[in-house]
Every structure is written in C-alpha cells, then in structure tokens.
Amino acid sequence: MKAISGYGALLMALLPAGALAGLPDGFVYLKDVDPTIQTDVRYATANNFVGKKVDGYRAKKIVITRRAAEALKKVQADLKKDGYGLKVFDAYRPQQAVSHFMRWVRDRKDQRTKAKYYPNIEKSTLAGGGYISGRSSHSRGSTVDLTLVKTGKGEVDMGTAFDYFGPESSHHSTKVTAEQRADRQRLKNAMSRGGFASYHKEWWHYTLRSEPFSRPFNFPVE
C-alpha cells in the first residue's frame, strides 16, 4: 500500500468524522471508535421481528453519531471493571427502515414471527402500544439497542430477547427473575452514568441525553 504523504495525512485529519467512509458529518462506524464493543446487526439479516432483511440495512455495521459512540466507549470501560461489556444490536436507523416497520405492522396477514416476538399481544396494537412508530429516535443517530455480555460467557440472560414486544420487556416487569431484573438495572445504571436515558418499555433501548441532531436521517447503512 502506498504511504500517505504528510500533506495527505493532514488533509485526512482535517476531514469531518466519517467523511472518508461516506458518512454524514458527525457520524461514525462504532467499530472505529471502540472495536471491543460486540455487535449483532439483526436488521441486516432475516433474524428480526420483520422476518426479512430491513430496508436501508445494506451491511452488518453499526453507524452512530460520534458523540454517542464516544459515550458508549466510556460505558464499555466502566462495565469492564466488573467483567461485563456491551453488545449493540442497532443504533442509527434509516427512515426507510422505520417506514418498512410500519408497512409490516399494517400487514395483518403476516404473523410468521408472532410466536417469537409478540406471542401475547396482537400485531395491530404494536404501533399504538409504544413499540413501533412512524418516527424513531434511532433515525437521529444517538439511540442504541443493546445488551450486556459477560467476559467468557456470552450474552447475559435479561429475561426476554431483544425486540420482544410485551410487558415482560419493561424495566419494571415482575415477570422476570430477580437476577434478570438486577442485570437490567446494571445495564441501566451504566448507561445512565454514560449519559444515556432509558425507555421504560424496552430494557435494551437508550438515547443519549445530549444528542447532537434533532432531525431524522435516511442514508443507508453500508
């Protein structure tokens, strides 16, 4: 590979974060900020509540605002002290993906993922029940869906799977064990110290309190 000249290196340093990767100013790939954080980009596969690859996810990559990525790096370092870490399922979500979710909700005949993701509630209630919306904080780039992993043991059992729609996924659910509630609280405490606010209905969902953007984006994840 040809070495980068001093001028070229200076030019690269002056470019906005994410510019070389084709990302809007202020966005980065999470792996470039902290490669120790695990990822599992479900929406780039068929392993999700829609049952197919979601519009806008062209690669198994986590895109996020730089500010949120730096905050997650601090959370990761905090958790590491006790032998834990993070696994991120989703962060920035294109508006086209949000629209895909809404089309899926309206298709009442498609019930193939019901047993796994919403066995005890009707699909018709998901949009009005606080689980799926035509507008998502994810599209602003500073909201993340994530869980805990324990060093050498993989994902921590949080009582329900990611994207399980139902009261069992609430932070205050009494339908999970005391140990599972404690692990949810461990994640919540670490994320709060890192500057993130929780969403009461989904133990995995957090938004950076000082998020840099107030508008949604629609560029693809690639």
- What is the DSSP secondary-structure string of 94-150? -HHHHHHHHHHHH-TT--TTHHHH-TTS-GGGTTTTTS--SS-GGGGT-EEEEEEEE
DSSP 8-class letter at 221: B
Joined tokens for residue 198: 């929780």
Given 168, 202, 211, 222, the catalytic residue = 202
What percent of the chain is helix, strand and coil (3-state, nearest 5)? Answer: 35, 15, 50
Give CA separation, 127 vs 40, 104, 135, 174, in Å: 25, 10, 11, 24
Q: Is 122 one of the annotated active-site residues of the chain?
A: no
Cβ within 8 Å of residue 143, ≥6 positions away: 68, 91, 93, 136, 137, 205, 206, 207, 208, 211
CA distance linking residue 219 with residue 43, whole number of Å: 15
Phi-psi region of 152 (alpha: psi -120 to 50; beta: other; left: phi over 0): left
Residues serving a catalytic function are: 202
